[in-house]
Structure 1
């Protein structure tokens, strides 16, 4: 029972939450200010550490890597999303009501192969962003504010508020179930009991998914977090579609909220039903972007505030002030990716104390970046170029522009002159209509958004009919497809060529094969060697 929390029921903060033990046992709903304080992590620099030898001091500096988290607007939005999803998911799972047992009965009859429509799509959401942007770290920091396991003695019930499971590298259903039972055992302190009980050599996928659903319902999991969802992209056997359908079915049957975390590679993985779920979701789908350099209400950018806080973590005897030149250089080398910026700052500081010159200047930062972060230089160079075709060579960097348009999660900038703004800014529904029409006439869903945008840009004053005709004209003007290669002529089978004492000829005689082979000297007489 170590680490378990006994339920302490708070007064419901809104009418809908009254008489809901699973909700009222949760901590109070946080304000944005409380969330910022909750998420913020600033490592401590002790005065006695700055005079330690370099080889010891660099160990203290590791706190920069492990213990630094600066809250942004995205963190506040994510906390509100998680808070709402957990509570909304519990509304239909009231352990104080007899309907709770009916839900458990539904799960016992649930078939993992059943393909149902997701009746409660609003309980599905996602956090998509480039590698190193801090998505998983942010989710873990927010989940840590909730007790993971709450015991309800009055109802003899164990409530698992959240469970984080990593999507397996091999994208198999069996591996996913194994990861689920391991995470469950770790949360409950079972020492592998559930994994041994349910993951047996003879357990097929149907059985494992059924056990997955029953355990999730039995322990009233409030939020299931699936990290590294882009691993499903590696599956060519249909396992990814089966897993996604199963997750949607969980939200439909037991109202279990699911939060996906992944890189932009995962954005096009979701089946049409999952795309519909994200669009219908009242919680939205969060695009976890890199820091940007645009001004924010005259108070500087989020990057300015983030880097100023990071820069204050100096284990130098005489900390140096931050200059615009160094800040701009760190932006250029990291392109606003938080993990890259933190790593570069840590490595630069280590290099400075190692060489005995406690100064982080431009020359030092450039040398550290080129020598110790050379593996990621091609990706950074692609982001520096700003060219989408270069960026899309690395699928973990940014969400493709086509996907952003198709799913209506972003809008084009409007800070340009009015003459340069196409009609679509004033009527975004037309773009969606045009994309749908292009898909109906045979243009693939992967390129339809880009084709639609090109048509609108080239005919800004046109209508749907004009744009369709323009796309048709572009198709007619396209160079002809290369003719398919002619098939190679069939190989003529020539009669066999025989050699002296050919065994194939020996097999064609009516005489005993043994005698023929003996006469030809192929068979040896054992008596000659005794």
Structure 2
């Protein structure tokens, strides 16, 4: 174990971690004096900006600890026995999981809040050594392998994608052998993938896991993932949107237990959002620089509703429109125009908060309570109304002839 763990990069924390996660592309303030074409090309740098936050720090810690547990299990005395069981599965002989899953968890949150970017930055930090090599026994281990869940929840498609990604890192041919093998079934394929993961994979990240929702093969894919987890001993992180929560939590207890993890929502209007706005605001490519004040930050939050991806896209598009139109500034009306034209497809998902209504409320007139009126026992109001309807007479006039009636204007 010491040989494997020693090759892992040290775990970062605090300010050191924030500096490692943050990405700030270079910016020259004199760019505003360049021609429009040069500034439009440089404007795309705003998409590269990434500011570390609590979500990114938590995701990094979760992935680092998951990788640590996975590498620890690779030194378990049970690992050779599990490898033999996986070979039985390849040969279509009854087999079982011995080593059990090292760890599995989910990272759930709406699209655009920065999950994938946080994961990508974390994997870069964890993969300072692209391939960990051990001598006794000789092994090549990829710290993190990231794949995407097939849109049709194909079990075979996901397993082949794992092999294809490993081949791309190691130069091996596991995927080609699996495709051309005779009598290849999902059961035999999962034995092959489990063996490959035992030997070569530290942490497996499966993105877009929400694709299993609404698919006939979704349940089968989830069950095979649990089998892969138990047969390989690696850590598996499943990343997706909140639409997958009912599927994960509403199934079997085993699936719900294996999919506990992290959940995130769009940013609230607070210091973290202000810091992001301040950082992005520095990347101005219009000729007339605009100042960022509290009302403007409120306006930005109103249009993006705390979604960082939408905020970045809005600040890019408002500058692009301003440069192309010759306005060369950033103003509230240009932000509104960019939201209405460039972000039209998002209107049903992100709606700016409505201003309070300024219409005058009509005055109401209180009606005093009327004194109770004694109705003679021999008088039936229902009978009077019935007789008035039969004779086509005014009901109020008929009532007045029998009992006191007071009319009140409405």
Would the TM-score normalized by the shorter structure come out above 0.5? yes
CA contact (8 A) 1:42 1:68 kept: yes
CA contact (8 A) 2:102 2:234 kept: no
Task: Determine whether 1:305 maps to 2:275.
Answer: yes
The correspondence of residues 425-444 of structure 1 with structure 2, limited to 5 A, is none
**What does residue 347 of structure 1 align with?**
317
Alpha-carbon distance between aligned partners in 2 of 1:329 and 1:214, rounded to the nearest angstrom: 54
With over 3 angstroms needed to count, the CA separation of the structure-2 counterparts of 1:359 and 1:335, relative to structure 1, is same
Task: Determine whether 1:329 maps to 2:299.
Answer: yes
Question: How far is the alpha carbon of 1:149 from its aligned partner?
Answer: 1.4
CA contact (8 A) 1:118 1:249 kept: no
CA contact (8 A) 2:167 2:175 kept: yes
Residue number among 204, 208, 211 corresponding to 1:231 in the alignment: 211
Alpha-carbon distance between aligned partners in 2 of 1:127 and 1:118, rounded to the nearest angstrom: 27
**What does residue 123 of structure 1 align with?**
103
**What does residue 230 of structure 2 align with?**
252
Alpha-carbon distance between aligned partners in 1 of 2:219 and 2:93, rounded to the nearest angstrom: 11
Secondary structure of the 1:160 match is: strand
With over 3 angstroms needed to count, the CA separation of the structure-2 counterparts of 1:331 and 1:310, relative to structure 1, is same
With over 3 angstroms needed to count, the CA separation of the structure-2 counterparts of 1:361 and 1:62, relative to structure 1, is same
Residue number among 9, 13, 20 corresponding to 1:27 in the alignment: 9
CA contact (8 A) 2:194 2:231 kept: no
**What does residue 183 of structure 1 align with?**
165
> 1:259-310: per-residue Cα shift (whole Å, max 9, x none)?
000011111222322212245xxxxx111221012x5xxxxx2111111111
Which structure: larger Rg?
A: 2
**What does residue 102 of structure 1 align with?**
81
Secondary structure of the 2:8 match is: coil
Alpha-carbon distance between aligned partners in 1 of 2:256 and 2:94, rounded to the nearest angstrom: 19
Alpha-carbon distance between aligned partners in 2 of 1:98 and 1:325, rounded to the nearest angstrom: 62
**What does residue 151 of structure 1 align with?**
133
Q: Between 260-269 and 108-117, report the one with greater CA deviation.
A: 108-117
> 1:413-451: per-residue Cα shift (whole Å, max 9, x none)?
xxxxxxxxxxxxxxxxxxxxxxxxxxxxxxxxxxxxxxx
Task: Determine whether 1:216 maps to 2:186.
Answer: no
- Structure 1: state its 5+ residue gaps: 1-18, 280-284, 296-300, 386-530
Question: How far is the alpha carbon of 1:22 from its aligned partner?
Answer: 1.7
Question: How far is the alpha carbon of 1:108 from its aligned partner?
Answer: 2.3
CA contact (8 A) 1:178 1:195 kept: yes
Secondary structure of the 1:316 match is: coil
CA contact (8 A) 1:93 1:103 kept: no
With over 3 angstroms needed to count, the CA separation of the structure-2 counterparts of 1:100 and 1:143, relative to structure 1, is same
Alpha-carbon distance between aligned partners in 2 of 1:81 and 1:102, rounded to the nearest angstrom: 28
**What does residue 52 of structure 2 align with?**
71
Secondary structure of the 1:320 match is: coil
Alpha-carbon distance between aligned partners in 1 of 2:225 and 2:9, rounded to the nearest angstrom: 27
**What does residue 375 of structure 2 align with?**
none
**What does residue 474 of structure 1 align with?**
none
Alpha-carbon distance between aligned partners in 2 of 1:115 and 1:50, rounded to the nearest angstrom: 66
Alpha-carbon distance between aligned partners in 1 of 2:293 and 2:94, rounded to the nearest angstrom: 60
With over 3 angstroms needed to count, the CA separation of the structure-2 counterparts of 1:229 and 1:259, relative to structure 1, is same
Alpha-carbon distance between aligned partners in 1 of 2:282 and 2:93, rounded to the nearest angstrom: 55
Instruction: Give the TM-score, by structure 1 length.
Output: 0.61
Alpha-carbon distance between aligned partners in 1 of 2:59 and 2:77, rounded to the nearest angstrom: 33
CA contact (8 A) 2:86 2:192 kept: no
Question: How far is the alpha carbon of 1:20 from its aligned partner?
Answer: 2.5
Alpha-carbon distance between aligned partners in 2 of 1:40 and 1:211, rounded to the nearest angstrom: 38
Alpha-carbon distance between aligned partners in 2 of 1:140 and 1:302, rounded to the nearest angstrom: 21
Aligned length: 347
CA contact (8 A) 1:50 1:57 kept: yes
**What does residue 178 of structure 2 align with?**
198
Question: How far is the alpha carbon of 1:116 from its aligned partner?
Answer: 7.8
CA contact (8 A) 1:149 1:159 kept: yes
With over 3 angstroms needed to count, the CA separation of the structure-2 counterparts of 1:115 and 1:194, relative to structure 1, is closer
Residue number among 272, 275, 278 corresponding to 2:256 in the alignment: 275
CA contact (8 A) 1:121 1:277 kept: no
Task: Determine whether 1:288 maps to 2:267.
Answer: no
With over 3 angstroms needed to count, the CA separation of the structure-2 counterparts of 1:116 and 1:371, relative to structure 1, is farther
Secondary structure of the 1:380 match is: coil
Secondary structure of the 2:318 match is: helix
Alpha-carbon distance between aligned partners in 2 of 1:59 and 1:259, rounded to the nearest angstrom: 36
Question: How far is the alpha carbon of 1:36 from its aligned partner?
Answer: 0.8
CA contact (8 A) 1:90 1:255 kept: no
Question: How far is the alpha carbon of 1:184 from its aligned partner?
Answer: 1.6
Question: How far is the alpha carbon of 1:370 from its aligned partner?
Answer: 0.5
**What does residue 457 of structure 1 align with?**
none
Higher relative contact order structure (alpha carbons within 8 Å, sequence separation ≥ 6): 2
Task: Determine whether 1:169 maps to 2:138.
Answer: no
CA contact (8 A) 1:290 1:337 kept: yes
